[in-house]
């Protein structure tokens, strides 16, 4: 039963009590079906729900997001996975529905960051998706509906403490939003898909370079744009094959956002290297332990203690990839889409993006050096659009 107020376990930190979530008028637009959410859970849930709702509306495909600390670690739509992605995401033996495929992709974008994530799903949660969620370390899920058997599976997770929230898919908030910061009220018009800043293909109409977008690039740019809209700024997002592969969130400079997003995209691609897919993990390792082992395997700067710890994950210690082998594999990454929540002040972001397979770019435009950025894109054979719409999120 819906309520107008729910007590939360605590605020951002355990000492911040009491805490609650409530509405001034009417009833909350969701029900807590299981567990007890906290303050950050609700921030993740409500932001992630908006992201998957917009992706569903923009692309007419089931959508999923993996949220951590009010930014997406990954987001995706329900496209079937290739065999190498299935192995990289540890789902090679699972029967995945379109919604489960979307979550496998969202979770697979950055598996280290997704540890203990909040999950958002655009469609009714089926048994296939619930069985995948059951295997991962997560805090909770928000969706518009649940198959009864799927709900039972989820309610048994974490010894019955897994938080399950059912969102009213018809709910629309008021046009204006208010925030209390240090006892001072801030009010602004909401950055809503219904009110303004709609994520759709029309955002890509103003192409400012040579070239055009193939349909796959349009899809991937919209995935990146939707993810950006709910990522703490400054932010850069890289996407390919219907999913996010790297997010650089909350950085003070755009080049640091780009370096972070691109480095995550590089790691995502390196996880698909045949040597990584063939790693001889010690029997009994959890999914999280395998994720950590892969991360350590791909790093070049391990301390002696980390080296010893890494080797414990394998019966036979595998040979490491050389820097040249990594570079050769990364050079195969191509047709990547990049979205930026604000303009590029310099060409340095384009230069870095070119090393991670970026071929398609969307950004607001409006910088003093737009001409320099356009020239950089054309030098790398990138296609770029200006939207005229900034997507800061704080």
- C-alpha separations of 309 from 277, 312, 314 in Å: 20, 5, 10
| pLDDT at residue 252, as a whole number | 94
Q: Which residues are catalytic?
A: 68-69, 234, 394
Question: pLDDT confidence of 219, banded at 50, 70, 90?
Answer: very high
pLDDT at 192 over 80: no
For residue range 122-136, list pLDDT tens digits in order: 999 999 999 999 999
15-29, 77-91, 127-141, 299-313: segment of lowest average pLDDT: 299-313
pLDDT at 378 over 90: yes
CATH architecture of 279-320: Orthogonal Bundle (1.10)
Q: What torsion do the CA atoms of 52, 102, 59, 225 make, to the nearest 10 degrees?
A: 60
Mean pLDDT, rounded, for 255-283: 95
| pLDDT at residue 2, as a whole number | 79
pTM of the model: 0.94
For residue range 138-181, list pLDDT tens digits in order: 999 999 999 999 999 999 999 999 999 999 999 999 888 899 98
Residue-range domain boundaries for the chain = 5-167, 195-270+330-386, 279-320
CATH class (in words) of the domain with range 5-167: alpha beta
The secondary structure of residue 8, as a DSSP letter, is -
Mean pLDDT, rounded, for 210-236: 95
| pLDDT at residue 275, as a whole number | 95
Question: pLDDT confidence of 193, banded at 50, 70, 90?
Answer: low
CATH code linked to domain 195-270+330-386: 3.40.140.20
For residue 63, the cross-strand partners are 77
Can 5-167 and 195-270+330-386 be said to share one CATH topology?
A: yes
Percent of the chain with pLDDT over 90: 82
Q: What is the DSSP string of 263-332?
A: HHHHHHHHTTSHHHHT--BPTT--HHHHHHHHHHHH-S---HHHHHHHHTTBSSPPPPPPHHHHHHHHTT
């Amino acid at each position: 039963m819906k309520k107008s107020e729910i007590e939360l376990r605590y605020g951002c930190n355990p000492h911040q009590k009491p805490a609650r979530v409530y509405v001034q008028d009417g009833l909350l637009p969701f029900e807590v079906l299981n567990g007890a959410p906290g303050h950050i859970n609700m921030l993740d849930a409500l932001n992630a729900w908006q992201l998957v709702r917009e992706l569903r509306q923009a692309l007419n495909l089931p959508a999923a997001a993996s949220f951590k600390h009010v930014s997406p670690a990954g987001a995706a739509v329900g496209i079937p996975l290739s065999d190498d992605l299935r192995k990289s995401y540890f789902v090679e033996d699972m029967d995945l529905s379109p919604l489960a495929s979307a979550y496998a992709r969202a979770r697979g974008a950055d598996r280290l960051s997704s540890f203990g994530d909040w999950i958002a799903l655009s469609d009714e949660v089926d048994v296939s998706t619930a069985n995948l969620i059951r295997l991962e370390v997560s805090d909770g899920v928000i969706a518009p509906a649940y198959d009864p058997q799927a709900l039972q599976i989820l309610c048994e997770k974490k010894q019955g403490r897994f938080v399950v929230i059912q969102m009213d898919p018809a709910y629309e908030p008021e046009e204006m939003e208010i925030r209390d910061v240090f006892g001072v009220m801030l009010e602004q018009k909401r950055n809503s898909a219904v009110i303004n800043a709609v994520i759709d293909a029309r955002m890509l109409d103003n192409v400012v370079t040579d070239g055009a977008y193939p349909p796959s690039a349009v899809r991937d740019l919209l995935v990146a744009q939707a993810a950006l809209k709910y990522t703490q700024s400054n932010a850069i997002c890289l996407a390919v094959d219907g999913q996010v592969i790297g997010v650089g969130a909350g950085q003070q400079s755009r080049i640091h956002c780009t370096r972070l997003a691109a480095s995550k995209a590089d790691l995502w691609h390196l996880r698909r290297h045949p040597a990584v897919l063939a790693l001889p993990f010690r029997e009994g390792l959890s999914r999280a332990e395998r994720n950590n082992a892969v991360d350590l395997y791909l790093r070049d700067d391990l301390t002696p203690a980390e080296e010893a710890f890494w080797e414990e994950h394998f019966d036979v210690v595998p040979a490491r990839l050389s820097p040249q082998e990594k570079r050769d594999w990364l050079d195969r990454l191509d047709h990547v889409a990049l979205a930026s929540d604000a303009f590029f002040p310099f060409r340095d972001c384009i230069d870095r993006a070119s090393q991670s397979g970026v071929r398609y770019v969307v950004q607001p435009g409006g910088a003093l050096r737009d001409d320099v950025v356009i020239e950089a894109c054309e030098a790398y054979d990138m296609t770029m659009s200006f939207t005229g719409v900034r997507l800061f999120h704080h």
